[in-house]
Amino acid sequence: MTKRTQAEAEAAVRVLIEWAGEDPDREGLVETPARVARSYKQLFAGYAEDPRDYLEKTFEEVGGYDELIVLRDIRVVSFCEHHMLPFLGRAHVGYLPTNRVVGISKLARVVNGFARRMQIQEKLTAEIAEAIQEVLQPQGVGVIIEAEHSCMTMRGVNTPGSNLITSRLMGVIRDDPRTRDEFLRIAREHY
Ligand SMILES: Nc1nc2c(ncn2[C@@H]2O[C@H](COP(=O)(O)OP(=O)(O)OP(=O)(O)O)[C@@H](O)[C@H]2O)c(=O)[nH]1
Ligand SMILES: [Zn+2]
């Protein structure tokens, strides 16, 4: 993959501005290519990190805790790879630990690290679950994401208010009906 410079990104934005029918040299737009390029760096910051790294530090003194751990309503800001438009919503992430747990902020960091890339929601959901399964090796993992896609609400089919719900369940959260029901109930309690 070709590595591009900030200057090249700015030139590309300038082309898009012109293509949209605007004058990139008018006062309000002069700095826009630079702003957009900087903004893309932040919005796509996920390419500069491996979210698995957040899960390396764990705690084993859990007092025998062996029930589900669920972090609900993690804000998701991601981008559909078809239109590069945002999809916004919430993720619910749970796991059934084996003998160690992770700091809860790290679950949100993992979501954010994968979200700040271009992809479809199905892939985002799977990547989060698989990273947790791979690094923490819990008895089970569940990830549910509900999000509204700007490419559907702002353009195209124009259906504001419709949410895409995706889930990836692994291990006992997928295979043991009682654990699965408990996870889904906790994750959906507020729907
Ligand atoms: N499965 C899935 N589809 C997505 C996601 N984000 C956007 N899409 C869809 O990707 C599809 C791309 O379809 P295309 O026909 O190639 O593109 P398009 O002509 O812009 O399609 P419209 O959005 O229907 O106007 C659309 O149906 C989008 O709704 C996602 O996260 N998951
Ligand atoms: Zn889209």
Can you tell me the ipTM of this complex?
Answer: 0.92
**Is 121 labeled as catalytic in the residue annotation?**
yes
Query: Can you read off the two tokens belonging to residue 78?
Result: 């991601």
Q: What is the pTM of this model?
A: 0.95
> Angle at which helices 121-136 and 104-115 pack, to 10 degrees?
140
Please determine, looking at this structure, whether the domain spanning 56-188 carries the CATH number 3.30.1130.10.
yes
Residue with CA at minimum distance from ligand 1 atom 11: 82
CB neighbour list of residue 175: distance below 8 Å, 6 or more residues apart: 140
In 44-145, alpha helices (H):
104-115, 121-136
Question: pLDDT per residue over 162-171, tens digit each?
Answer: 999 999 999 9
Which segments of the chain belong to CATH 3.30.1130.10?
56-188
Indicate the DSSP class of residue 134. Answer: H
**Which residues of the chain register pLDDT less than 50?**
191
**DSSP-derived pairing of the beta strands 69-80 and 118-119:** parallel
Please give the pLDDT value at position 189: 78
Q: Which helix (H) or strand (E) holds 89?
A: strand 86-96
Query: Can you read off the two tokens belonging to residue 43?
Result: 């919005």
Establish whether residue 152 lines the binding site of ligand 1, counting it when its CB lies within 6 angstroms of any ligand atom: yes
**CA 81 to ligand 2 centroid distance, Å:** 6
Determine the residue of 122, 151, 157 to mutate for testing ligand 1's pocket, defined as the one with the most ligand atoms within 8 A of the Cβ atom: 151
